[in-house]
Structure formats: structure tokens, C-alpha cells
Amino acid sequence: MSNSTTAVPAVNPAAAKVTEVTTLILDAGKAASTMLSCCKDAAKLAAKQLDATLAMAPRIAQVTALYAEEFKTAGHNVKSLFVDALTLHAAEQCPISIETIGTDGKKVETQTTAGKAVELPKHAMREAAKQVREVHGMGRKRAEKPVVNPTALPAPDMTPMIKTETDRFSEWLDQSESFITDSVFHAKIVAHFITLGFSLNKAVKGRKIVGV
């Protein structure tokens, strides 16, 4: 049986690392960490501009809109992280339940608040923000299907279909082969035609029937 797992080739000991590649990889890791940290710091400062008299959704949207131009330059990921952090600040006392990795390496459920969840790692912080949105009914709403008014639909045609003599004959003709070739019905059909004064015989193969 073949193993579907792709084997990782051993590192060539003679190959040397390219310094520029190493630098760029490490810089990328630092940049990701720095971006999250900056977004959290920005949200913490912007939280002071939140209007507590507004409902949760417009409260957050108002401050986010204030920095719309900056987000256009910084990119969607920056805006998304900023909004998540700002959401947690806006509902800082909201209870949150987050799964974290314990000292034994296993997942444990941690109870905390939205305000404290801002300091969690990115994925945990985003999950906390998602919970806040669900609590406050800020989740994405599915597009509702339009309700069709039954009275607006055309009334079904209730006119009874009257079969003509030709219709009935055509139906019988279409089904006749299955009956005439059946061992039980064939004998009955032959007997019935004899009582009517007709002889029913199987045509010779290849013989052309005139009038059909």
C-alpha cells in the first residue's frame, strides 16, 4: 500500500543558506508581529473616541470610518485587526470563553472578558471579537429570500383533460407490444380476437405490412 504522505527530502549538507532569504523570512515574521502590535495599540488609543451613547455596531463603525483613508493605504488586514481589537475595547466587560494551549500542551477553555482578550494572540483575539459580535447581534446577516405571495402566482389550470377516441387508441397502441409479447396476455388476446372473427398471427420477419 502506497503512503499518500509526501516524503520530505533530506537537507543537502553541502548546500548553504542564502543570507538574503534568511533575512527576509525573519523580517516577515517580525513584520507580522509588529502589524498586530501596532493595530492593538492604535485600537487602544482610538477606543477613547468611542461614543458610549451609540449602540455597539454604530459606535465601532463611527470610529473606524474616521480612519478610512489610512486603511485604504494600510490594507484590509490592518483594518480587520484594528476593528477586532476596537470591538473588544468597546465591549470590554463582555464575558468571553476562549480555548488556549495549557502548560501540558492540551487545549483548555479560558474564561475572560473582552477587554482582557485584546492581549491574547491573534487567532484567540479574533475569536473573542467574533463572540462579542454574536452577543450584540453584529454577525453577518444572510440575505433573506423574497417571500412570494401565493395570490400573485397564476392559478393552476383546473380544466379536466378529456381524452378523445384517438387519444385512447394511441395509448393502447403504444402499450400493445408489452401485452402481445407477454406469455399470459398473448393467449388471452389471441382468444379474444378469435371470438371477434379475426385470426392473430405473428408476421414473418422482414415482411412489409401495407397500410401501417
Question: 63-122, pLDDT tens digit by residue?
Answer: 999 999 999 998 888 999 999 999 999 999 999 888 877 777 788 888 999 999 999 989
Closest CA to 89 of 59, 54, 58: 59
| Segment 38-43 long-range contacts (CB within 8 Å, at least 24 positions apart) | 39/78, 39/81, 39/82, 39/85, 40/81, 40/85, 40/118, 40/119, 40/125, 42/82, 42/85, 43/82, 43/85, 43/86, 43/88, 43/89, 43/118
Cβ atoms within 10 Å of 121's Cβ, excluding its own: 11
Domain parsing of the chain, residue ranges:
19-135, 165-195
Q: Rounded to two decimals, what is the model's pTM?
A: 0.57
Q: What is the pLDDT of residues 183-200, one digit of tens each?
A: 667 777 777 777 777 776
Cell of 164: 378523445
127 within 8 A of 134, measured Cβ to Cβ: no
Place of cell 543537502: 12
- pLDDT given for residue 212 in this prediction: 46
